[in-house]
Amino acid sequence: MARVVVDVMLKPEILDPQGQAVANALPRLGVDDVSSVRIGRRVEIEFDGEIDLDRVNEIADKLLANPVIEDFTVNVAEVA
Amino acid sequence: MARVVVDVMLKPEILDPQGQAVANALPRLGVDDVSSVRIGRRVEIEFDGEIDLDRVNEIADKLLANPVIEDFTVNVAEVA
């Protein structure tokens, strides 16, 4: 079994209101040295057999991310 | 500047309908050897100064994750 992690984040030039809301809430917790918060998605995919990274990239591009506004990175997390 | 990444995932025993929907869509892309898909949040926090991991854990616990149904992990991503 093998696990791939796909991280999907908004492109840097796209506003992230969800992250902004968290950043604005931090001073209420006494945290005032945070310059930026960005929130994206982490997708963990478990394969039965071998990982085909080309196919994972295709899955991420077609199904997991919106390439117009989002970037994604693919990492092989573990092979057990 | 330093960046911390907080990954928030549903606990393993909590059903993940969003991940299940992706898993169900994969055969339509010709992928049939995926056993599980779980979708969570990736939060990137940029600090102006030093990282206080105790404080990051407090932020994650109080603001980013719902500890009843979610687990989180904190990773220091880079120090530039």
Per-residue pLDDT at B80 exceeds 70: no
Facing residue for A22 by CB, picked from B26, B29, B64: B64
Question: Inter-chain contact A39–B42, Cβ cutoff 8 Å?
Answer: yes
B38-72 burial code (b ≥16 CB/10 A, e <16):
bbbbbbbbbbeeebeeebbeebbeebbbeeeebeb
The rounded Cα A74 to chain-centroid distance in angstroms is 9
pLDDT computed for residue B22 by the predictor: 96
H-helix segments, B8-52 = 17-25
Q: Which helix (H) or strand (E) holds B35?
A: strand B34-47
**Cβ–Cβ under 8 Å, residues A20 and A37:** yes
Per-residue pLDDT in tens (0 to 9) along chain A, 80 residues: 799 999 999 999 999 999 999 999 999 988 999 999 999 999 999 999 888 899 999 999 999 999 999 999 999 986 65
Q: Does A40 touch chain B (CB under 8 A)?
A: yes
pLDDT tens digits, B43-79: 999 999 888 899 999 999 999 999 999 999 999 986 6
Question: Inter-chain contact B35–A62, Cβ cutoff 8 Å?
Answer: no
Q: Scanning every residue of chain A, which has its alpha carbon at the shortest distance from the alpha carbon of B54?
A: A31
pLDDT computed for residue B52 by the predictor: 87
Quote ipTM for the complex.
0.90
* Contacts A41 to B, Cβ<8 Å: 39-42
pLDDT tens digits, A47-58: 998 888 999 999
* Contacts B48 to A, Cβ<8 Å: 33-35
Over residues B12-30, the mean pLDDT reads 95
Question: Inter-chain contact A9–B44, Cβ cutoff 8 Å?
Answer: yes
Domains and CATH numbers, chain A: 2-79 (3.30.1280.10)
